[in-house]
A and B are shown apart, each in its own frame.
Chain A
Amino acid sequence: MIKEKTKLAIASTTSIQNSGLFDILIPTYEKSTKYNVKVEVIAVGTGKAIRLAKKGGADLLFVHDPFREEKFVAEGYGVNRRPVMHNSFVIIGIAKDPADIKEAKNAVEAFELIAETGSPFVSRGDDSGTNIKELDLWEDAGINPKGKGWYFEAGAKMGDTLLMADQKKAYTLSDMGTFLNYEQKIDLKILFQDDPMLKNQYSIIAINPDRFPNVKYREAMDFIAFVTSNEGQLLIANYKKNGVNLFYPDAVPSVMTKTNRREKNET
């Protein structure tokens, strides 16, 4: 007799969903686990994912906003937060680069230059992890861009924001994965990257079973064990788009060097 599958709900972000990583991770997990589970991803912005998880609407939270994640755990909503992977944010703009941010020493200076020259900038403006990171950078620069004539709050997903920035010949902050997906459709280029400030850290958290007794805690912990295991981390390290890595594993970072070494040997 086939037992009905347990549903394991992950509240996560559109950026992981759009990258296609779940399509690799989840089938492998479902095959390898000893539990009879069906994983369901609820892909929304980080802000909404956290709110959803706070209402007990998911078994796991897989997002990218370290500050709010720590708060989530501290307030007793989640347990066992584990860093899974990271990639980076990039500052995108037209090749002409009117604010000259290519010459900036760091991301905060790049934002200062955009503000000083009054160059158009499109913000997600939707409470997403990317939006939070962008607002942090403005705060570090000591600039309040809201209401300025050059600052456009789109209230939209990353893809729509990139299209709007393209039309407005504006700068914007994007995660690497989504930008690579849209690169062919738009005229914008990566103008600034490789700053530790632009690190985009993804972590996974189990929802606290003490607070929400109905969550599938054992299965949730099993999924965390999988994505932070050698096997899960290797899947992340090997996941590429147009030959570019979308994510870098953080739970077992050494798998990355192993894959790179193997590639070097092959070529």
Chain B
Amino acid sequence: MDFIIEGFRKAFILILNLDAELLGIILLSLKVSGTALLIAALIGIPLSAVIGLKNFPAKGFIISLMNTFMGLPPVVVGLFIFMLLSRAGPFGFMELLYTPSAMIIAQTILAFPIVASLCHSAIVGVNPIIKQASMTLGATPFQVAITIIKEARYGIMSGVIAALGRLMAEVGAILIVGGNIAGYTRVMTTTIAMETGKGDFELALALGIILLTISLFINAVLYFIQKKGIVKK
């Protein structure tokens, strides 16, 4: 038991001192997951609006596919990106393996189905009267889409934040494609995995506490947004 108490004590000292190494690891986590989320949202939200508002063949199939990919195992995504980016692979010439860019690519793929699928649900859930009303008022299809996205904003934000929660906690894909290189591709989750393996629990615990705090914050925001959305309706 002693080593657990001692571990927590040292972990809190590390957090309070927040040295450059620890801060760098936290910032890189936020940068990688944040960038991946931004890219996934910029593509995912417009796409989910198109899928939600237009009728086209294979629509049902695409929605099922998005829902399935929400549960993509990170290690499988990692393996796939690793093979594509490795020197023998088709994109090997770009020399992206074991770089933060590779980590962003992998996390974008993980985030995209979550953003697209949850945003699609939010957009489909908007009262159809709004679509009809704006069309009656002479809105162009683009203006109709904007109106509906605005109406569905709480649901969309929930989807985006749910995706961020998954990215921040993810270790399988970024460990494979990033390689956990110190000061370069080492993030919170990969550090925790490595330090635990080494038997150094203090830094792992400190990062675990910080990671949980960030998750708690993200979920508090999510709860707040969802509550606001319900009250508004």
A: residues with CB less than 8 A from B are 44-45, 47-48, 51-52, 125-127, 146-147, 152-156, 164, 166-169
Contact = CB atoms under 8 A, between A and B. Distances in A.
B181 A153 contact: yes
B179 A154 contact: yes
Contacts of A164: 98, 179
26 contacts: A44-B197, A44-B199, A48-B198, A52-B199, A125-B182, A126-B194, A127-B198, A146-B182, A147-B183, A152-B98, A152-B179, A152-B181, A152-B182, A152-B184, A153-B182, A153-B183, A154-B179, A154-B181, A155-B181, A155-B182, A156-B194, A164-B179, A166-B87, A167-B86, A167-B98, A169-B87
Interface in B174-190: 179-184, 186, 190
B97 interface: yes
Contacts of A127: 198
A158 B194 CA distance: 14
A127 B194 CA distance: 11
Chain B contact patch, size range? 10 to 19
Given A164-B98, A167-B87, A47 B198 contact: yes
Nearest to B87: A167
Contacts of A152: 98, 179, 181-182, 184
A155 B199 contact: no
Contacts of A48: 197-199
Interface string B161-172: 000000000000
Shortest beta-carbon contacts, A-B, top 9: A153-B182, A48-B199, A155-B194, A152-B181, A155-B180, A51-B199, A167-B97, A164-B179, A48-B198
Contacts of B86: 167
A155 B183 CA distance: 11
B156 to A, nearest CB: 38
Contacts of B199: 44, 47-48, 51-52
A168 B181 CA distance: 12
Contacts of B186: 155
Nearest to A157: B197
Interface in B75-120: 86-87, 97-98
A93 to B, nearest CB: 15
Nearest to B199: A48
Given A44-B197, A155-B180, 20 more contacts: A48-B198, A48-B199, A126-B194, A126-B198, A127-B198, A152-B182, A152-B184, A153-B181, A153-B182, A153-B183, A155-B182, A155-B194, A156-B194, A164-B98, A164-B179, A166-B87, A167-B86, A167-B87, A167-B97, A169-B87
